Chains A and B, each alone.
Chain A
Amino acid sequence: MLMVIAIGVAIRFSLGLLLTYNYDVYSWALIISNIQAGSGLYETAGYNYPPVWGYFLAIMAQFTDLLGVDVLSERFPELIYTESAGNIFPHLAYVTTIGFNAVVTATITVFDILTGYVIYITVRDVFGDNRKALLCSAVWMLCPFVIVICAVAGMFDCICGMMTLLSILLMIKEKELLAGMVLCTAVLLKLFPAFIFFIFIGYIVLKHREELVKRIGKLVLGIVIIAAVIMLPHIMSGHIADSFSFITSRVSETDLIFGILTQYGSMITYIAIVILEIALAVVYVRKGDNSDKTFILYAFIGALLTFIYPATPQYVLFLAPLLIVVSFCIESQYRTTLFILMVGTTIFSLSSNVVDLTSVVMYTDLMSFETWQGLYSWSQTKLFGVSFADLISVTGGVIQYAAFLVAFMITIMNFRKQKSNVPDIDTSAE
């Protein structure tokens, strides 16, 4: 396993130092600067998420200070033309330094390793199979889209997936208070884990009916305590709405009709998902199976439902730890989804392609600016209204969504088998 971790880390650093999606990674530099300036998370523009990731960035900032990374990002006049609204992929003339990129990659790699560990202890403790635990962990560490989203995109969604799986494991170990705290922290990182709350309630109903009120009480208490601790400064400063702008401001004002469809379409879809989650929880309770495996399976299906609405590639990391556990330990058919995602999500997350080279171009001699300019112009060239960058993005997005459609089909087929009393769990995965 140490070898797998070493290889995973080596790949992440090699890739991360060469390719960086500055548009997002620059945001981390801006937010850290705002924090250091005493502006907090929401006083000035830059931070558009619930607060927990900002808290982790504040810790990351201690490492940039310790390591002497005194320049996080610079604005290059020669890149300003890339900010033009007509360009494909919003890019910035701000380019993050190699030193800062390394700190970001290192931070997210640490969380990737922790996620691999949580997968390992979940499989080992719930399924009692050490060999499979190592396999699942290795799949996570060497999964191409996990590597790219960590190393290139610098996105933190793996923490959300890790904390979701950890909260499930804590529930299984009857630590409801701590499970509630971890689940709430995951929700205040990215909001998706909130959707599987009803499955948690269903698990308590099935497993601990005699202590229903006490255990639900502990779960809810954990959620309330951590929500208060995390949100209190923002409630007092009047920034509670800003901390949820991630869901309230999902459309650009210039998108007109497409923007309206996107905005209202997404709202309607997510309301429908909430209804489906409640229905799923009811089905789960009615099924009457209080095993830990079934809890994990239904939590996975609950997480899967959030992908009814097409997602950007980093969101997949919320689902991926559960997907790996389920597909290798409970229902092997979901491996098809995992493998399709390995292709689609990886392509999708590399669709920014040429712009990911700007840190290397501006801070090293590995590629000249003129060469990069040529590549950039070529990536912006449209053939029949479609650019190379568009093509990669759409291809990746379609394949990614196809993976979810496959997963939905597998789930529906298994539910149908259940109805006709055919065993619905493929024990060959165990």
Chain B
Amino acid sequence: MPFDMERKMLSAPVILAILLLAAAVIGEVLIETSSHSDFRSDILYENGGVYCSVEGRGSHIYDVLVLSDGYASPDSIYIYYDETYESKLDNVSVAVGARALDQKYYVDELVDTLKVRGLSSTVVNARELGDIVSESGNGVCIICISGALPDTVYDGIAGSNIVHWIESGGRLFWAGNVLGKYVSHTNGIDEITNGTSLFLGTECIDDAITDSYQRIDGDDFGITLSLINNQARYGVKASDLPGNRVHKEIGYTDGERSSLCIIGLASGCIYVFGGDYSDYQRIDIAQVLASGLSPTVKLKTSYSGSINTRFELDTRVGDNVYVYYGGDLTIYGQLHEVVS
């Protein structure tokens, strides 16, 4: 074999090795440089019309929801987590090889999942939570996934600070166990009789494990918002709610309980998510918070297609427009207000 041909042949594995290593490094750079800012959406006011612009890197679908009577983006989002206080949670199984889904991990993931939807959040402990609920709840969201409220905000009796806070306009996002049933302390947990009634007016939540595969009749949001959690354990039995409580059931039902129920309480509201911990539940919490759903929200119209386009919206001042990309695997979300 000629010497120069042999040299070329000898270099084939070297070339292949370099290409493979380069591919790995390129992939690493691609990951490190990907961010929320790769995507954007805008509401444009031109020629007397309102337009939506959906832009971003790559090929993705968009969904745009025009909502009336929803919430604007919150001023503050707090996620309660305090390892010095007891929680009341059931362990969940995860896929083989996956990290255990404990409360700390869930909270860390939730922070990131909210960021994907353009929202920043703060993790607070029990004392800080107590300070927050002593002020007006207007424009503030609290997410509690500990299964038990700490004694700094709730003491199992009527008139607890957390209830007043919700009534003043606060929005409580709840998951993990029966709402109001448990008060946690640094050294234990107390079970409260009829605790749920303090929030919802009746004992309409239990811990039964059921199959919940049916979509809720008349629900506009489960599909249009790509809500994916179908678990109804700890979900609200809406038919047991007092007649004067405005509420909205969304997602799935086992015939009695719903995977999500939004219940009004004076100027605020409570979001009760069904199920034990799951990635689906976490994603739904973020999606519902980001889209500003309220107990009285209405879906006026929705649009979908492929990004990097613009189109006119059928909307008016005061509406909210929630834009998200990726469908059931959401990669971007942003809430806009129609202001002129």
Q: Is A258 an interface residue (CB 8 A)?
A: no
Q: Is the CB of B21 within 8 A of A35?
A: no
- Interface residue stretch chosen among B7-15, B65-73, B150-158, B192-200: B7-15
| Also in contact, A55 and B27, with CB within 8 A (given A233-B32, A252-B93) | yes
Query: A249 to chain B: which residues have CB within 8 Å?
Result: 94, 96-100
B91-125 vs A, CB cutoff 8 Å, 1 = contact: the mask equals 11111111111000000110011011000000000
- Convert B223-258 into 0s and 1s, putting 1 for each residue whose CB lies closer than 8 angstroms to a CB of A: 000101010000000000000000000001000000
Residue from B30, B91, B215, B228 having most chain A Cβ neighbours under 10 A: B30
Interface segment among B42-50, B160-168, B312-320, B321-329: the answer is B321-329
Q: How far is the CB of A237 from chain B (nearest CB, A)?
A: 10
The verdict on A51 contacting chain B, using a C-beta distance below 8 Å, is yes
Given contacts A38-B38, A242-B99, 10 further A-B contacts (CB under 8 A): A40-B32, A48-B99, A56-B23, A58-B31, A66-B59, A69-B59, A77-B230, A85-B93, A170-B13, A250-B96
Judged by a CB distance under 8 angstroms, whether B301 is at the interface is no
Q: Is B213's beta carbon under 8 Å from chain A?
A: yes
Asked if B208 is at the interface of the complex by the 8 Å CB criterion, the answer is: no
Question: Across the interface, do B24 and A70 meet the contact criterion of CB distance under 8 Å?
Answer: no
Contacts of A181 in B (CB 8 A): 17, 21
The contact sample of 10 A-B pairs, CB cut-off 8 A, is: A33-B331, A37-B36, A38-B34, A55-B25, A55-B28, A56-B24, A65-B57, A245-B98, A249-B99, A250-B96
- Contact A230 to B98, CB < 8 A, known contacts A65-B57, A70-B59, A118-B13: no
- The interface of chain B, by Cβ under 8 A from chain A, is 9-10, 12-14, 16-18, 20-21, 23-28, 30-32, 34-38, 57-61, 91-101, 108-109, 112-113, 115-116, 211, 213, 215, 226, 228, 230, 252, 279, 306-307, 326-332
**Beta-carbon contact of B331 and A45 below 8 Å:** no
B327 nearest CB across to chain A (Å): 6
Using Cβ atoms and an 8 Å threshold, which residues of chain B touch A246? 97
Contact of A94 with B by CB under 8 A: yes
Q: A398 an interface residue at 8 Å Cβ cutoff? A: no
- State how many angstroms separate the Cβ of A114 from the closest Cβ of chain B: 7
Do B27 and A58 touch (CB < 8 A)? yes
Knowing A36-B331, A185-B24 are in contact, say whether A54-B326 is a contact too (CB < 8 A). no
Closest CB-CB distance, B281 to chain A, in whole Å? 12
Q: How far is the CA of A169 from the CA of B20 in the complex (A)?
A: 15
- Chain B residues near A33: list those with CB within 8 A: 326, 329-331
CB closest chain-A residue, reference B13 = A169
Interface residue ranges of A56-77 to B (CB < 8 Å): 56-59, 61-62, 64-75, 77
Q: Is the Cβ of B93 less than 8 Å from the Cβ of A163?
A: no
In the complex, are the beta carbons of A38 and B326 less than 8 A apart?
Answer: no
Which chain B residues lie closer than 8 Å to A309 at the CB level?
A: none
Shortest B215–chain A CB gap in Å is: 6
- Give 1 or 0 for each of A234-248: 1 = CB within 8 Å of chain B CB: 000000001001100
With A45-B99, A74-B327, A166-B17: A38-B116 Cβ-Cβ less than 8 Å: yes
A-B pairs, top 3 by smallest CB distance, nearest first, are A55-B27, A65-B58, A33-B329
Residues of chain B within 8 A (CB-CB) of A81 are: 211, 213
User: Closest Cβ of chain A: how far from B223's Cβ, in Å?
Assistant: 8
Q: Closest Cβ of chain B: how far from A264's Cβ, in Å? A: 16
Most chain A beta carbons < 10 A, residue from B23, B24, B28, B112:
B24
Task: Please indicate the chain B residues that have their CB under 8 angstroms from the CB of A41 in the complex.
Answer: 31
**B93, A253: Cβ atoms closer than 8 Å:** yes
A269 within 8 Å of B by Cβ?
no
- Is B109 within 8 A of A45, CB to CB? yes
Is A173 an interface position by the 8 A CB rule?
A: yes
Choose one: A48, A75, A233; the contact of B28 (CB below 8 Å): A233
A132 at the B interface (CB under 8 A):
no
Partner of B17, one of A49, A64, A69, A178: A178
A181 CA to B25 CA, complexed, in Å: 12
Closest chain B residue to A254, Cβ basis: B93
How far is it, in angstroms, between the C-alpha of A227 and the C-alpha of B2 when the chains are bound?
A: 38
The CA-CA distance from A121 to B18 in the complex, in Å, is: 16
Contact pick for A70, options B61, B97, B99, B213, CB 8 Å? B61
Contacts of A242 in B (CB 8 A): 99
B27 to chain A, nearest CB (A): 3
* Contact A245–B327 (Cβ < 8 Å): no
Q: A75-B226, A185-B20, A249-B98 are in contact. Are A173 and B10 (CB under 8 A)?
A: yes
Assess whether B59 is in contact with A64, with CB atoms less than 8 Å apart.
Answer: yes
Give the residue name and chain of the B residue nearest to A159 (CB).
Answer: B20
Contact of B20 among A38, A69, A163 (CB under 8 A): A163
Q: A51-B28, A252-B94, A253-B91 are in contact. Are A35 and B23 (CB under 8 A)?
A: no
**A425 CB–B CB distance under 8 Å:** no
Contact across chains for B59 and A37 when beta carbons are under 8 A apart: no
| Residues in B whose Cβ lies below 8 Å from that of A72 | 329
